[in-house]
Amino acid sequence: MKVNEHPRKTIKKVCSFMIFSCFCFREVRLRSHFARKIQKLNDRINGIVSEKNTFDFKLSEGETKRPEHKITVSVIDATEIKGRETDKGKIVKMLVSESSDQEPAPRTISLVGMGGIGKTTLAQLVYNDHEVGTYFGKRIWVCVSDPFDEIRIANAILEALVGSAQDLIELQALLERIQELVSGKRFLLVLDDVWNEDSTKWEQLKNSLKRGCLPGSRFLVTTRKREVANCMGSSSTDILELGLLSPDECWSLFSQLAFFEKNSRDRDLEETGRKIAERCKGLPLAAKTLGSLLRFKRSRAEWESVLNNHVWEIEEAESKLLAPLWLSYHDLPTEMRPCFLYCAVFPRDYTFKRDTLIKLWMAQGFLRETQNQEMEATGGECFEALAARSFFQDFEKDEHDGRIIQLKEITEQKPTPVYRLPKPIYSIQYQPY
Ligand SMILES: Nc1ncnc2c1ncn2[C@@H]1O[C@H](COP(=O)(O)OP(=O)(O)OP(=O)(O)O)[C@@H](O)[C@H]1O
Ligand SMILES: [Mg+2]
């Protein structure tokens, strides 16, 4: 200390040195405390990683890759089609029925049903019908698919009207051209495989098509979802819900393929074949897939194996039969997926009662309460939405308010143990085969 230095100043210096060193010590202690904490966390994370590795989890391809939509065309070999005479008659009648001059827009008729039930096939039958061909001055087939791309659809319509590809990129120019070309014509426009529920996307196209066209023009839509039919403008009387094939029709379709070029010796496979056809439960896609698969199998053991296995266990059938059905699952909003998957733990012929199922979803924590809506209401919406997306085939409605009160799965097979469900998806539990 210097002689002339003020003693108070010295004290202050000593104090501030002490504070500084205390602070330093505290900081060091804190740092080492955090270092230990980070070390502990790292150890925990390493533990979790090594535990995860013991389960050998793999990212399933199916989870990330969206299944592809099939491209459809209007061509069909009508001789291969089983049944559907009544449905075809109904649709043709709706299409060619007299229409008033005051009709606000072409009527929209929709074919609704689950994947693989034969909506596109029926639309093709109708499109190629002689009466339809002569009634409409112009017939146009567009495979819409998902997403609903207005420019692509408008270009497809234009190409059909002109007879060659135009490849315009401005919607405005496309719509003006379409409007000119349909003017004074009576047309039938088939929109196959529609998923879009945003009516504004369709409105613009619809407006340009309806302007100037002759009364009696029609839209024919195929979709898996009833909401889509409503959004495209179909009134409830203009919606045809497609049913399954009868057992005889289903057998006829299956056997035509499975016994193709087989001789009378192979006829002893018939008994097993009939049981397999029964398992298809009238779904044409299933009858066609399994029939084609058995066409090249000649031994009884091979046929028995198809009969006794789940479809997802038969490699050749899986891609043809399950891939199209995957689309419906992928289209479900994320929050509805657990509700749907949960149903998979019930036996196949189980009848789902609306209120009970909603309570079970609530107990599982699948439903959320929002500020404006109680859980039960959210569950009710989910139930209706599953029913309207053709996941189930059999409904029972309330006599008074028309509300769907129960859904019934139509197959009679025994329940599948959860551990035997297919890895990527359980939805096939709800498909009738
Ligand atoms: N009545 C029928 N007779 C013979 N085969 C049929 C019949 N209905 C459908 N099929 C065949 O079953 C398969 C599925 O039919 P289709 O593609 O028409 O179903 P979809 O309801 O349009 O399905 P998606 O919802 O996937 O578009 C096709 O291979 C079709 O040829
Ligand atoms: Mg289709």
Considering only CA atoms, which residue is closest to atom 28 of ligand 1? 285
Q: Is 192 in the pocket of ligand 1 (CB under 6 A)?
A: no
Q: How far is the CA of 124 from the centre of ligand 2 (A)?
A: 10
What's the token pair of residue 69?
């939509």
Query: In the predicted model, what is the mean pLDDT of residues 105-131?
Result: 94
Q: Using CA positions, which residue lies closest to atom 31 of ligand 1?
A: 121
Query: Which of 241, 268, 283 finishes a domain?
Result: 241
Domain, as residue range, for 254: 247-308
Q: Where a domain ends, among 308, 339, 360? A: 308
Query: In this structure, which ligand is nearest to the CA of 119?
Result: 1
Query: Which residue would you say has higher pLDDT here, 344 or 236?
Result: 236
**C-beta of residue 386 within 8 angstroms of C-beta of residue 114:** no
Supply the pLDDT for residue 424.
Answer: 37
Ligand nearest to the CA of 115: 1
174 falls within a domain: yes
Least confident among 52-66, 140-154, 168-182, 276-290:
52-66
**CA-based angle 173:178:195, to the nearest 5?**
95
Task: Identify which has the larger pLDDT, 30 or 101.
Answer: 30
Ligand 1, atom 13, residue with closest C-alpha = 285
Residue in the structure block whose two tokens are 């299409």: 95
Which CATH number fits the domain that encloses residue 213? 3.40.50.300
Q: What is the pLDDT of residues 22-48, one digit of tens each?
A: 556 777 888 888 999 999 999 999 998
**What whole-number distance in Å separates Cα of residue 191 and Cα of residue 188?**
10
What confidence tens digit (pLDDT) does each residue in 155-175 have?
A: 999 999 998 888 788 999 999
> Are 341 and 299 contained in the same domain?
no
* End-of-domain residue from the set 241, 261, 276: 241
| Residue 16 reports pLDDT greater than 60 | no
Average pLDDT, the chain: 82
**Residue 158 sits in the same domain as residue 232:** yes
Structure tokens at 180: 């000119």
pLDDT tens for 352-398 read 888 888 999 999 999 988 888 889 999 998 888 888 887 776 666 66
- Nearest ligand 1 atom to the CA of 242 is 21
The pLDDT score that the predictor gives to residue 387 is: 80
- Residues 20, 149, single domain; the answer is no
**Is residue 297 domain-shared with residue 332, that is, in the same domain?**
no
Q: How far apart are CA 116 and CA 127, in angstroms?
A: 19
d(CA 293, CA 314): 10
162 and 255: one domain? Answer: no
- Please tell me the distance from the alpha carbon of residue 62 to that of residue 318, in angstroms, as a whole number: 13
In a domain, 72, yes or no: no
251-260 pLDDT, tens per residue?
Answer: 999 999 998 8
Quick check: is 197 in a domain? yes
Residues 114 and 229 in one domain: yes
Pocket test for ligand 1, best of 79, 285, 326, 390 (most atoms within 8 A of CB): 285
In a domain, 315, yes or no: no
- Residue 103 Cα to ligand 1 midpoint, Å, equals 32
pLDDT recorded at residue 276: 92
| Domain co-membership, 340 together with 418 | yes
Lowest-pLDDT choice from 35-39, 86-90, 202-206, 208-212: 208-212
Asked whether residue 319 is domain-assigned, the answer is no
Q: Are residues 415 and 332 in the same domain?
A: yes
Number of domains forming the structure of the chain: 4
Kindly state if the Cβ of 115 falls inside 6 Å of ligand 1.
yes
Probe target for ligand 1 pocket from 72, 75, 120, 257, with the most ligand atoms within 8 Å of CB? 120
Of 126-135, 269-278, 308-317, highest mean pLDDT: 126-135
**Residue 346 placed within a domain:** yes
Burial class (CB in 10 A: 0-12, 13-18, 19+), 105: middle
- Among the bound ligands, name the one nearest to the CA of residue 113: 1
Handedness of CA 249, 252, 256, 257 (dihedral sign): positive
Cβ of 282 less than 6 Å from ligand 1: no
133 and 208, same domain (yes or no): yes
Residue 68 lies in a domain: no
Same domain, 346 and 417: yes
* Domain contains 321: no
Same domain (yes/no): 288, 232: no
The mean per-residue pLDDT over the stretch 329-343 comes to 85
Taking the centre of ligand 1 as the mean of its atom positions, its distance from the CA of residue 120, in whole angstroms, is 6
Q: What is the CATH number of the domain that holds 405?
A: 1.10.10
Residue 192 and residue 276 in one domain: no
| CB proximity list for 53: less than 8 A, separation 6 or greater | none
Q: How far apart are CA 114 and CA 14, in angstroms?
A: 86
Q: Are 386 and 342 in contact (CB under 8 A)?
A: no
Mean pLDDT value of segment 79-92: 96
308 exposed, middle or buried (CB, 10 Å; 0-12, 13-18, 19+)? Answer: exposed
**Residue 84 CB contacts under 8 Å (≥ 6 apart), including other chains:** 118, 121, 122, 125
